[in-house]
A and B are shown apart, each in its own frame.
Chain A
Amino acid sequence: MRDPVVRAAELAPVGARRRRMAPYLFLLPVMVFLIAFYYYPFVKTIVTSFTVTDAAGQFKKVVGFRNFLMIFKRKDFLPILGNTLRFVPMIALPTLLLGLLLALFANKRAPGVSRLTETMFSMPMAIASASAALVWSLIYNPVVGVANYLLGLQINWLTDDRFAMLSVAIVTVWLQTGSNFIFLLTALRGVPQDLMESAMIDGAGGLRKFFHITLPMISPTLFFVIFLDIMGSFQAFGQIRILTQGGPGIATHVLVYDIYLEAFMNYRFGTACAESLILFAMMLMVTLIQFRFENKGVHYA
């Protein structure tokens, strides 16, 4: 039995058939790029995680699950996983909160300076994690840096294992807050004004309005921003490499940094690929949990 859609296409005049092909043609360029540089390498990574390669990344032999077993046998692997998971709320929560507070602050335009403040609030967005890390390494410098000087403290920000993770997290929050601010600001300005006015007429106070109107109205954007923050925290790399190299000890050693070391310092591409699959699985799990939450908590207009 032939598919009715296909048959209709065959019977239709040339114009209609061309229209049936059209969407696929429009999608072709994106698909070519995504297949060549996302799906194909991803499949290759999965395959490589079950193999051993030479130092140039060329296939040597199939080893089954041995790469995965070796990773879980490493003594430092659980602490590294712990660091990776601890890092996520340390970055995502303050980023979201700060972004939201700044957006609420800037939502009602202040006279004269609103463009200036918006640009300043979002500026760290324009800065690379690698070069930001260079500036912050100076700020954190215990002698010539201003962090200790301005706060009146004597802290080895990057070399004391009680503070290293916090220091890296501060830089990451600084880098990511700007995009949260911009997304949430646009969402806030998209909340229909008449809705707010009718709530005011009904006598709703500020907090009530926020929780019953504003928050539900911007929940799709909040959801999207939380997704970006979580993915960003899992993937933070440049700032860790430049500020702490995973140290002191393994205090800031996270999964992404370990993948980098395995692949490009130790040339063990098999285990590096296996680790990146573990990272992928963690990100996937968080996303699935988030999507379940979306079905309950997010309001789409």
Chain B
Amino acid sequence: MRDRAPVWKSIIGVLLGLVIVFPVLYALSISLMPESFIATYPPKILPSAPTLENYAKALKTAPMLRFVLNSGIVAVSIMGVQVLTSSLAAYAFVNFEFRGKGLLFGAVLATMMIPGEAILISNYLTVASARLLDSYWGLILPYGASAMGVFLMRQQFLTVPREFREAATMDGCTDWRFFWRILMPVSMPAISALAVYCFINTWNQYMWPLLITSSVTMRTVQIGISMLSFSDGMAYGVIMAGFMLILLPSLVIFILGQQKMVSGLMAGSVKG
């Protein structure tokens, strides 16, 4: 009896999972069908003769690989900068008592409340006046810090026993050294969690790159894929091929990082 229940549970779990990821499997399946096959009724779920022609067409219609490279550069940069700025700030909030601490922490968290649309226009003008339109800098700099990052790293640092720092200080270790040599290495799970979170968020950005990039060579993936949908009317096969191409990098990062993200969040939630 005890053995049978979990097996059923595993099967139900996988079936539920398949329902949830169905749209992605469906997109994959459609991307492998010739256009003439997609347009027939009743709708087809599986291709009869899989073909890669939609992928070839997607790569030919728009410089998809260039979009992937652009998004990769921007996502990795934002990831690095945010991990650094968030960790430094979180260190101040966890390991120091100072005047204005509560106020500053509130000021950081309050930025979560500002809707992106409320600052988009002004940020556009800032970036334009700094002559950074249509550049990597313009894509990266506005996302150099996030409240979510500070919050996540703070939760992580709170779980590191106080004795660590006390012992390090006794040995004459400076804050700077302690931060780099001890705190950051023991916080790797949370750092990976934040890194994965940052990468995927940036990869999936739509509005900001749409506004500030203008040349095709500076476009990022989410804008690139909409180029496919406007170039050829209702060419669903090509669009789904493009979708699969740009989903792949973020999916790989997500699958590799998912478990780290869970343990990173776990570390943060132990001491909420």
A contact residues vs B (CB 8 Å cutoff): 5, 19-20, 22-24, 26-27, 29-31, 33-34, 36-42, 44-45, 48, 57, 102, 105-106, 110-132, 134-136, 138-139, 143-146, 149, 174, 177, 182-183, 185-187, 189-190, 220-221, 231, 234-235, 237-238, 242, 256, 259-260, 263-264, 269, 272-273, 276-277, 279-280, 283-284, 287, 300-301
Give the tally of cross-chain contacts (CB within 8 A). Answer: 267
* Residue B251 interfacial (CB < 8 Å): yes
Instruction: Summarize A's interface: helix, strand, loop or mixed.
Output: helix
Residues on the A chain within 8 Å of B206, using CB: 128-130, 237-238
Which residues on B are within 8 Å of A, measured CB to CB? 6-7, 9-10, 12-14, 16-18, 20-21, 23-24, 26-27, 30, 38-43, 45, 84-86, 88-89, 91-93, 96, 98-99, 101, 104, 107-108, 111-126, 141-145, 147, 150, 175, 200, 203-207, 211, 222, 225-226, 229, 236, 239-240, 243, 246-247, 250-251, 253-255, 258-259, 261-262, 265-266, 269-272
What is the CA–CA distance of A127 and B204 in the complex, to the nearest angstrom?
Answer: 7
Q: Least Cβ distance of B133 to chain A in Å? A: 12
Contact B24 A123 (CB under 8 A): yes
Which residue of chain A is the closest to B105 with respect to CB atoms? A27
Cα–Cα distance between A277 and B115 once the two chains are bound (Å): 9
Do residues B23 and A132 form an inter-chain contact, with CB atoms below 8 A?
yes
Contact between chains at B121 and A20 (CB < 8 Å): no
Known contacts A26-B88, A105-B9, A125-B254; 10 further A-B pairs (Cβ under 8 A): A23-B96, A115-B259, A116-B14, A121-B17, A123-B254, A146-B26, A182-B261, A186-B266, A280-B114, A284-B113
Can you list 20 contacts pairing A with B, beta carbon distance less than 8 Å? A39-B111, A42-B114, A45-B121, A105-B9, A117-B14, A120-B16, A125-B254, A127-B204, A128-B204, A130-B225, A134-B226, A135-B240, A143-B43, A144-B38, A144-B43, A146-B43, A174-B20, A190-B270, A263-B120, A283-B113
What's the dominant secondary structure at chain B's contact region? helix
Contact (Cβ within 8 A) A189 B88: no
Contact in complex: A134, B229 (CB < 8 Å): yes
Bound state CA distance, A301 and B107, in angstroms?
A: 25
Instruction: Specify the chain B residue showing the minimal Cβ separation from A49.
Output: B118
In angstroms, Cα B116 to Cα A280, docked, is 10
Which residue of B23, B125, B222 contacts A135 across the interface (Cβ within 8 Å)? B23
Q: With a CB–CB cut-off of 8 A, which chain A residues contact B9? A: 105, 110
What is the bound-complex CA distance between A124 and B270, given in angstroms? 26
Question: Are A149 and B107 within 8 A (Cβ)?
Answer: no
| Contact yes or no, B115 A280, CB < 8 A | yes
Residues of A within 8 A of B236 (CB): 138, 144
In the complex, which residues of chain B have a beta carbon less than 8 angstroms from the beta carbon of A117?
10, 13-14, 16-17
Q: Which of B96, B175, B266 contacts A190 (CB 8 A)?
A: B266
Contacts of A129 in B (CB 8 A): 204, 206
- A301 and B121 within 8 A (CB): no
Interface centre among B91, B96, B141 (most CB of A within 10 A): B96
Question: In the complex, A118→B265 CA distance in Å?
Answer: 14
Whether the pair A127, B119 counts as a contact (CB closer than 8 A) is: no
Contact status A120-B122, CB under 8 Å: no
Are A37 and B141 within 8 A (Cβ)?
Answer: yes
A263 to B124, CA, bound (A): 12
Contact A279/B117 with A26-B89, A105-B13, A120-B17 known, Cβ cut-off 8 Å = yes
Q: B87: shortest Cβ distance to chain A, in Å?
A: 9
Q: Which residues of A contact B150 (CB under 8 A)?
A: 30
Of A45, A102, A138, A220, most buried by chain B (CB within 10 Å of CB) is A138
B residues less than 8 Å from A138 (CB atoms):
26-27, 30, 236, 239-240
CB atoms of A113 and B14 under 8 A apart? yes
CA distance A238 to B226 in the complex (A): 11
Nearest A residue (CB) for B261: A182
Query: What residues of chain A lie closer than 8 Å to B7, measured between beta carbons?
Result: 111
What is the chain B residue whose CB lies nearest that of A112?
Answer: B10
Q: A45-B118, A119-B255, A149-B42 in contact; A29/B89 too (CB < 8 A)?
A: yes
Is there contact, CB below 8 Å, between B10 and A139? no
Shortest Cβ distance from B23 into A: residue = A135
CB distance from A126 to the nearest CB of B (A): 4
